[in-house]
Amino acid sequence: MINEVVTSKKVVALTFDDGPNSTFTPQVLEILADEDAKATFFMIGEHIDKCPEIVKIANEQGHEIGNHTFTHAKLSGLTPEQILVEIEATEAIVSRLIGRNPIVFRPPYLDYNDRVVTILNEKGYVMVGAQNLEAQDWEQPGVEHIVKASIDRVKPGSILIFHDGFGDRSQTIEAVRLLVVELRSEGYQMVTVSELLKLAES
């Protein structure tokens, strides 16, 4: 699982899990557009079914669509066949909407085992973690906490995790609004995970 890449360039990857959500994902997209920032959205297949247009818009705006399973399942408790269904069902929907399969994957709850790793490797996915887990935006710990815990972990090559689906994400929205301005003021460029990985390779 990749939590960061080694690079001297001031780049970070913002990532958003559990969307798309009809209320919060468009707000995230607006914030990113205002700062000319790109991000990776790890989307759940069931949620994509409800908001397909948001997926298309995110893709058209240059953001990356990642795979976050179809039902947000805890993969370590599933058989290989069930794991494949979770991954490939979301693959199929994303491919239909944007014309290509996702190439980055984040397991729900960051839960995985050897079976999951083997399947992801066979399918050519990169499994993505994050460095700012202390922010715990999914627990709604307060805007200030989310911002500080994220900024404290930022360095060139960092991958940061936030959530735009499941429940009230208004704290996350406000935290990200402040965070992208702060990152920009410190000279950081915000890119997709795949763009970050390419920088590490160059």
> Could you give the domains of the chain?
11-201 (3.20.20.370)
Distance CA 138, CA 135 (A): 9
Q: Tell me the average confidence (pLDDT) per consecutive run of 10 residues in the chain, 202 residues long.
A: 94 98 98 96 98 98 98 97 98 98 98 97 97 96 97 96 96 98 96 93 59
Say if residue 141 is preceded by a cis peptide, omega within 30 of 0.
no
Please give the pLDDT value at position 201. 61
Q: Would you state the pLDDT for residue 202?
A: 57
d(CA 165, CA 157): 25
* Residue 63 annotated to the active site: no
Residue 199 has a pLDDT of: 84
Question: One-letter amino acid identity for 170?
Answer: S
pLDDT at position 38: 98
Q: Active-site residue among 17, 18, 137, 164?
A: 17
Q: Which of 152, 163, 164, 168 is catalytic?
A: 163
Q: How many CA atoms lie within 13 A of 21 on its CB side?
A: 19
Q: What is the pTM of this model?
A: 0.96
Give, rounded to a whole angstrom, the gap between the first and last alpha carbons of the chain.
20
Residue 163 among the catalytic residues? yes
